[in-house]
Amino acid sequence: MQQHDLRQPKGATHKRKRVGRGNASGHGTYSTKGLKGQKARSGGGVSPHFEGGQLPFVRRMAYKRGFRNPFRVDYDQVNVGQLERFGAGATVSVEDLRAARIVQRNRPVKILGDGELTVALTVEADSFSKSAKAKIVAAGGTLVWIGGEPEAAEPEAEDTPKKRGNAKAEAAPAGEAPAEAKEETDDGAGS
């Protein structure tokens, strides 16, 4: 026997059921759709998750609004006031903060500006708030960014108009009224 001699066993294949071709076809009258009803109509039927009017499963579940940003970074927060316990001139790293039980989770660390700092420290952290930077530097300390200092945001161009309505007024030279105001004064003078 060769591969081309193989055939499907009898009954494995059959013709497609052609419904709605008259009673002689064996599938006439109701065309396998039963007696009337929503599912017997043209274009009728219900969605797969329809539960007969019962409150659907998806609506019985808890519904949480919003979303979680996948790029969000959760920091362990340390205030500058908590750094007072370290001696002057000390280098405070994330490991030192964990050893002192100030930080207890394995997350990036951000230094915040609450509290006062009177000793000069070298502080190593993943991020710093503006007020924390100012207080550490004012106390004579230095900042060390883990992973490198982030690039500063570029300032916006000064020549871009802030509001759409002020664009015409800004375009007029100094000492001259805007074009619309000129037209109004000219109309008043002619009458």
Residue 191 confidence (pLDDT) above 50: no
pLDDT at 33: 92
Fold of 76-145: Ribosomal Protein L15; Chain: K; domain 2 (3.100.10)
pLDDT at 99 exceeding the cut of 70: yes
In the three-class reduction of DSSP (H, G, I as helix; E, B as strand; rest coil), residue 86 is classed as: coil
What is the average per-residue pLDDT within 144-163? 73
| 8 Å CB contact between 123 and 104 | no
What's the rounded Cα separation, in Å, for the pair 111 and 182?
A: 57
Write down the pLDDT at residue 169. 47
More confident residue, 70 or 154: 70
Q: Read off the pLDDT of each residue in 73-98 and give the average, rounded to a whole number.
A: 93
Strand 76-79's sheet: what is its strand order? 76-79, 109-112, 127-128
- Identify the CA nearest to 122 among candidates 149, 92, 79: 92
Q: Using 50, 70 and 90 to split pLDDT, how confident is the model at 158?
A: low
109 near 125, Cβ under 8 Å? yes
Of 66-70, 131-135, 137-141, give the lowest mean pLDDT range.
Answer: 66-70
Q: Which pLDDT value is given to residue 184?
A: 56
The residue to which tokens 């003078």 are assigned = 189
**Would you state the pLDDT for residue 189?**
53
- Please tell me the predicted confidence (pLDDT) of residue 127: 94
For residues 189 and 95, what is the distance between their CA atoms, to the nearest angstrom? 80
How many whole angstroms separate alpha carbon 131 and alpha carbon 111?
9
Average pLDDT over residues 95-111: 93
- The better pLDDT of the pair 149, 124 is held by 124
Query: pLDDT at position 119, please?
Result: 93
Distance CA 44, CA 105 (A): 57
Q: Which residue has the higher pLDDT, 39 or 190?
A: 39
Q: How far is CA 109 from CA 16, 98, 126, 135, 146, in A?
A: 67, 10, 5, 17, 9
Please choose, from the candidates 79, 133, 136, 125, the residue with its C-alpha nearest in 3D space to the C-alpha of residue 102.
Answer: 79
User: For 102-110, what is the mean pLDDT?
Assistant: 93
pLDDT tens for each residue of 37-84: 999 999 999 998 899 999 999 899 998 888 889 999 999 999 999 999
pLDDT single digits (tens) 163-172: 555 545 455 5
Percent of the chain past pLDDT 70, that is, above it, reads 81
